[in-house]
Structure 1
Amino acid sequence: MSDYLSVSAITKYIKYKFDQDPHLQSVLIKGELSNFKKHSSGHLYFNVKDKNSVISAMMFKGNASKMDFDPKEGDEVLLEARVSVYERRGNYQIYVNKMHIDGVGNLYQKLEQLKKKLTKEGFFDQSQKQLIPKFPKKIAVLTAGTGAAIRDIHTTINSRYPLAEQIQINTLVQGAQAKNDIIDKIQQADELDVDTIIIGRGGGSIEDLWNFNEEDVVKAIYNCVTPVISAVGHETDYTLSDFVADVRAATPTQAAVIATPDQHELRQYLKQTNLSLTRFIRQHLHQQRKHLEHVSSYYKFKTPTLLYDQQIQKRDDLEKQLKLAINQNINNEQQRLELLKNQFNLKKFKASINREQLTTKQRYNELNKVMHNYFINQKNDLARKLEGLNNLSPTNTMLRGYTIVNKGDDVITSTNDLSENDNIVLTMKDGVVDAQVKKVRCNDE
């Protein structure tokens, strides 16, 4: 039994072999992310796969924080990792040190970033979308001059609505010069007074369709006054031009269907409308005829004078009543005017005015007398107060032989405030004396 190894022992040995192999310490792997999870610790757990195989992988938080993109399910990535064995499960896995988005993945990442930016700026708002005219007179078609897209659009429009004039504008849809050419052709089409613009091309890879993801192309479509139908790619090929266009068509053929009505459906509709309108007119005429017969049988129409005899008499009665009412109103107003004249006596009014004027003059004289006496009393009172104030002033006091003693800024009022050799100032009626205290004698000594 001693020859048998435990599961842990063989697993440790295999792990040791992996860890010692220099070829497995740093390997470069290309693949697609699947089963991607970010742990609360910040570590990443995922699988890397291709068409034939799957490898378990993890990336520690420290390495994950250095990535220049946010990985997600389905991303094509380039990895730098070491290969080892996870002993607990006995599985081999890779520990990723660095992760970068693959070339095409970079385009998808750039596409998502630009989509978020333009969405935030309002380029894809539904409120900005225009309605596609139902019966267009002119349709501008921007696509390559040759290929299935232009043939499908022309064939479909001719089949559905041959009345629409098609204006073909040959446009580069792929390559380095395509972006500027697409923008120029969109602006050119917008100035042609067409009803609808179709921008289309066949499907392709993200690289082939990339010109329709360019921000300047998106803004050119957004600024179009003419409604735009985007038919770039096929069912699963979405570009930013599809999001900003007024309508997105899955294929060029569908774009032509959206842009035009079906002539067969229109004929059927016109035929049905003609039948409905004819039926309605017949019913309306029948109803109006019956109404006319009913009205014409009315007895007053057989004797037309009955329609206005009563009204003439009624008008005469109303006229008579109006004249009576006017005369009565005039009489009432004349009587009221006479009463007012009787009440209004001019002599009495003048006498009343004279009395009021005399009373006003007397009160005016009385008021002047009262005000004169009041001012005299106030003047005398002010003179008495000024005389009393003058008697109390320090100047008059000094005139009687008194002196003001200052020690510094303080006025001395008691011998207790002075000491021998204090410097004092004596203010008299005719000047100031600087003095020094020789001796202080209080009354109680």
Structure 2
Amino acid sequence: MSDYLSVTALTKYIKYKFDQDPHLQSVLLKGELSNFKKHSSGHLYFNLKDKNSVVNAMMFKAQANKLDFEPKEGDEVLIEARVSVYERRGNYQIYVSKMHLDGIGNLYQKLEALKKELKKQGLFDEIHKKPIPKFPQKIAVLTASTGAAIRDIHSTINSRYPLVEQIQISTLVQGEQAKNDIIEKIKYADTLGADVIIVGRGGGSIEDLWNFNEEEVVRAIFKAETPIISAVGHETDFTLSDFVADVRAATPTQAAVMATPDQVELSQYIKQMELHLSRQIFQIINNKKKHLEHVSSYYKFKQPSLLYDQQIQRRDDLERQMNLSIKAKLERSQQQLQLLANRLNLRDLKQQTLQGMQTRLQLHESLNKSITNVLKNSKKQLSQRVETLNNLSPSNTMLRGYTIVNKEDQVVTSTQSLKTNDEINLQMKDGTVDAIVKKVRCNDNEQ
């Protein structure tokens, strides 16, 4: 019995072998996700399969949080993982550390990232959408010169609205050079004065339509001044050009329908309007006739003089009142003028003027005399005061033999301010003398 292993021991041994094999520690796999589940813990559980095989797989939350896309059922993926055994079930499975979308999935991932960024910048906002003219005169069509798209657009426009001018601009819609050619043709079409531009091509895979997802193409459509209808692919196909264009058409044929009115509908509309206008005009004429008949039956129109007899009499009355008013006003004005003339007698005015001039001359003479007397008195007083000041000035005093004593630039007025050996300055009429005090004699004592 000791030779028999338990299932647990066998499983542990197999797991040990797996974990020790360096070739199983990091394997690169590609396949399709199936039976995909995201646990509430954040761990991912799924199967990785191809046409012939399937393997259990899981991805821990820490690694799942680093994914740059949202995995879903059916995704084709590229995986880096280690191979081990889940002991509880005895199954081998892979533990995924890295996962990326494969092939087309990468394109979708790139598309979603660019779409998110451009939407954030506001390129898809409705505020930027320009209306499509109802009755265009010129339509520029950007698509391949051959193929179903150009035929569908051309035939639809001709059948709906043959009056419009079509400008067909041959454009590369697939291949490496297509992106730059699309941008160049959009800029060129925007200078032609067209009312609307149709940018389109037939259906295809995401790779075939990828040029219409290029950021430079999207921005060229956004910057165009002319309204643009995007008609890229079939009804189920969507490109970033559809989101930035002013209108998205499901097919090239629908783009032509959106860009033009239907001549049959226009003809019917014109006929309806013609009938409506005829009815309106007929109704207006009938109403005017009835009104004319009603007015013409009015009694005053049967005897027209009734309309103006009283007005003529009223005019005569107003004319008479106006003449009387003017006459009365003239008389009052003449009376006032006479009164003013009496007041303003010319002789009295002349006499008053002469008297006024004599009075002015007398006042002028009197004013001159007063000014002269005031000036004489002021000069006399000024001379007296100058003489008094001169008599009292220190200079005149020194002329009589007096001296001014200064000590430290201060005038000495008392012996109390001096003491023996003080340096003093004696200011005389013709100069100064520096001296030293030998003795100070006061009236009371000596120093």
- TM-score bracket, shorter-length normalisation: 0.5 to 0.7
Moved more, 74-83 or 302-311: 74-83
8 Å CA contact retained: 1:86, 1:93: no
Letter in 2 for 1:327: K
Name the residue aligned to 2:276: 276
Q: How far apart, CA to CA, are the structure 2 residues paired with 1:47 and 1:255?
A: 45
8 Å CA contact retained: 2:405, 2:424: no
8 Å CA contact retained: 1:197, 1:228: yes
In structure 2, relative to structure 1, the CA distance for the partners of 1:328 and 1:147 (3 Å cut) is: same
Gaps of 5+ in 1: 392-398, 406-412, 416-423, 434-445
Name the residue aligned to 2:220: 220
Q: How far apart, CA to CA, are the structure 2 residues paired with 1:389 and 1:106?
A: 117
How far apart are 1:83 and its partner, in Å?
5.0
In structure 2, relative to structure 1, the CA distance for the partners of 1:353 and 1:158 (3 Å cut) is: same
Name the residue aligned to 2:413: none
| SS of match in other structure, 1:60 | helix
Letter in 2 for 1:246: D
1:389-441 CA deviation, whole Å, 9 max, x = no partner?
A: 989xxxxxxx6445339xxxxxxx999xxxxxxxx9967466999xxxxxxxx
Name the residue aligned to 1:300: 300
1:63-83 CA deviation, whole Å, 9 max, x = no partner?
A: 96xx7x854456876443435
How far apart are 1:250 and its partner, in Å?
1.8
Q: TM-score, normalised by structure 1?
A: 0.67
| SS of match in other structure, 1:169 | strand
Q: How far apart, CA to CA, are the structure 1 residues paired with 2:13 and 2:336?
A: 134
8 Å CA contact retained: 1:104, 1:206: yes
In structure 2, relative to structure 1, the CA distance for the partners of 1:138 and 1:400 (3 Å cut) is: closer
Q: How far apart, CA to CA, are the structure 2 residues paired with 1:89 and 1:315?
A: 123
Name the residue aligned to 1:57: 59
Larger radius of gyration: 2
Letter in 2 for 1:296: S
In structure 2, relative to structure 1, the CA distance for the partners of 1:363 and 1:211 (3 Å cut) is: farther
1:403 and 2:407 are equivalent in the alignment:
yes
| SS of match in other structure, 1:292 | helix
Moved more, 325-334 or 231-240: 325-334
Moved more, 86-95 or 270-279: 86-95
| SS of match in other structure, 1:176 | coil
| SS of match in other structure, 1:241 | helix
8 Å CA contact retained: 1:425, 1:432: no
Q: How far apart, CA to CA, are the structure 2 residues paired with 1:99 and 1:370?
A: 121
Letter in 1 for 2:316: D
Q: How far apart, CA to CA, are the structure 2 residues paired with 1:428 and 1:243?
A: 110
Please show how residues 76-91 of structure 1 align to structure 2 within 5 Å: 78-83=78-83
8 Å CA contact retained: 2:29, 2:79: yes
Name the residue aligned to 2:160: 160
Q: How far apart, CA to CA, are the structure 1 residues paired with 2:101 and 2:424?
A: 104
| SS of match in other structure, 1:204 | coil
Q: How far apart, CA to CA, are the structure 1 residues paired with 2:422 and 2:84?
A: 109
8 Å CA contact retained: 1:231, 1:248: yes
Please show how residues 126-205 of structure 1 align to structure 2 within 5 Å: 126-205=126-205
Q: How far apart, CA to CA, are the structure 2 residues paired with 1:120 and 1:371?
A: 97
1:168-214 CA deviation, whole Å, 9 max, x = no partner?
A: 32221011111222233334433444332211112333332222233
8 Å CA contact retained: 1:32, 1:48: yes
Letter in 2 for 1:58: F
Q: How far apart, CA to CA, are the structure 2 residues paired with 1:100 and 1:145?
A: 39
| SS of match in other structure, 1:200 | strand
Gaps of 5+ in 2: 396-402, 410-416, 427-431, 436-447
Name the residue aligned to 2:245: 245
| SS of match in other structure, 2:207 | coil
How far apart are 1:373 and its partner, in Å?
9.0
Name the residue aligned to 1:328: 328
1:156-179 CA deviation, whole Å, 9 max, x = no partner?
A: 333433443433322210111112
Q: How far apart, CA to CA, are the structure 2 residues paired with 1:127 and 1:404?
A: 96
Work out the number of aligned pairs and report it. 404
8 Å CA contact retained: 1:25, 1:82: yes
Letter in 1 for 2:296: S
